[in-house]
Amino acid sequence: MNRDRFLTRRWNYIITLVQGPPTVAFVVYGLTSGYGETQQGMIVLSVLGALF
């Protein structure tokens, strides 16, 4: 598969649909859980978000 066939609008939609929901779920969990209220919790959530 060459670059022109890979970088299409269709593939952009597929990547967005696959990567979007886990990202939104992670953000919602980080904002709604009490885990993010402590300094250690924020550090862990930041590191996990960076790795994700």
Per-residue pLDDT of the chain (52 residues; tens, 9 = 90+): 666 777 788 888 998 999 999 888 888 888 888 877 888 888 888 888 888 7
Q: How far apart are CA 40 and CA 18, in angstroms?
A: 30
Cα separation values, 6 from 3, 9, 16, 19, 41, Å: 5, 9, 14, 17, 39
The predicted pLDDT at position 1 comes to: 61
Q: Does residue 11 fall inside a structural domain? A: no
Q: Does residue 6 fall inside a structural domain? A: no
CB burial of residue 41 (10 Å; 0-12, 13-18, 19+): middle
Domain extent for 31: 21-52
* Helix, strand or coil, per DSSP, at residue 44: helix
Domain count, the chain: 1
Q: The pTM is what?
A: 0.62
Q: How far apart are CA 52 and CA 23, in angstroms?
A: 8
